[in-house]
């Protein structure tokens, strides 16, 4: 039995897609460095230390005196001896003036003038303790420092950017197609029959 048939055959459309990826190039030039550091200003004021040793009295204790000091001491001693002699002569004269009050003035004066004086002396050190004078001045140091600021003339550089955008190309590779086919199909009319 021949059943009439309509046959449909379709071919879908086909798209072609081609992509070009995007590209970004970034270049960063180095910054131009210009940094200067001026030297700091420093001032130092120094007063040197000083050590003084005075051994004049120690040398005098050992009888090593300067001519000037000997002259001063001899003149002072002479003046004191003159005053002491003047006082002794005045005292002796006063005693002799008052003979009438009794006493033996001439014998007392002779005895007094003939005796050696008594000196009080125990132990002595040459030179005597504390005769060397030591003085010390430590001096001073004054430091004045003035720092200087950094001079920075650095210039940054902008980056160089190149950008290529992505691209998509779409094309129709094949059109859609529909084929229609008939089988066992007859057209029957009045006294007419046709096979399609």
Q: Is residue 164 part of a domain?
A: yes
Domain membership flag for residue 24:
yes
Beta strands in the chain (DSSP E): 5-11, 14-20, 23-27, 35-36, 41-47, 50-54, 133-137, 140-146, 151-152, 160-164, 167-174, 177-183, 186-189, 192-195
- Residue 3 lies inside a defined structural domain of this protein: yes
Structure tokens at 155: 């210039």
**Pair type for strands 160-164 and 23-27:** antiparallel
Between the two ends of the chain, the Cα-to-Cα distance in Å is 17
Angle value at C-alpha 22, between 16 and 27, nearest 5 degrees: 165
Q: Is residue 162 part of a domain?
A: yes
Q: What's the predicted TM-score (pTM) here?
A: 0.39
**Domain, as residue range, for 193:** 1-29+158-196
pLDDT in single tens digits along all 196 residues of the chain: 577 778 888 998 888 899 999 999 999 999 999 999 999 999 999 999 999 999 988 888 888 888 898 999 999 999 999 999 899 889 888 888 887 777 788 888 888 888 887 777 677 778 888 888 999 999 999 999 999 999 999 999 999 999 999 999 998 888 888 888 877 777 777 777 777 6
């Amino acid at each position: 039995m021949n059943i009439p048939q309509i046959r449909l055959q379709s071919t879908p459309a086909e798209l072609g897609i081609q992509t070009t990826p995007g590209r970004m190039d970034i270049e960063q030039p180095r910054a131009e460095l210009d940094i200067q550091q001026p030297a700091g200003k420093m001032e130092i004021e120094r007063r040197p230390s000083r050590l003084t040793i005075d051994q004049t009295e120690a040398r005098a204790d050992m009888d090593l005196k300067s001519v000037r000091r000997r002259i001063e001491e001899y003149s002072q001693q002479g003046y004191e001896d003159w005053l002491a002699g003047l006082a002794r002569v005045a005292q002796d004269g006063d005693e002799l003036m008052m003979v009438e009050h009794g006493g033996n003035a001439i014998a007392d004066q002779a005895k007094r003038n003939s005796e050696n004086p008594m000196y009080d002396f125990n132990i002595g050190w040459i030179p005597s303790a504390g005769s060397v004078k030591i003085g010390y001045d430590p001096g001073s140091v004054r430091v004045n420092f003035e720092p200087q600021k950094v001079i920075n003339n650095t210039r940054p550089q902008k980056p160089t950017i190149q950008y290529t955008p992505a691209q998509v190309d779409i094309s129709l590779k094949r059109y859609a197609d529909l084929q229609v086919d008939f089988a066992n199909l007859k057209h029957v009319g009045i006294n007419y029959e046709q096979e399609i």
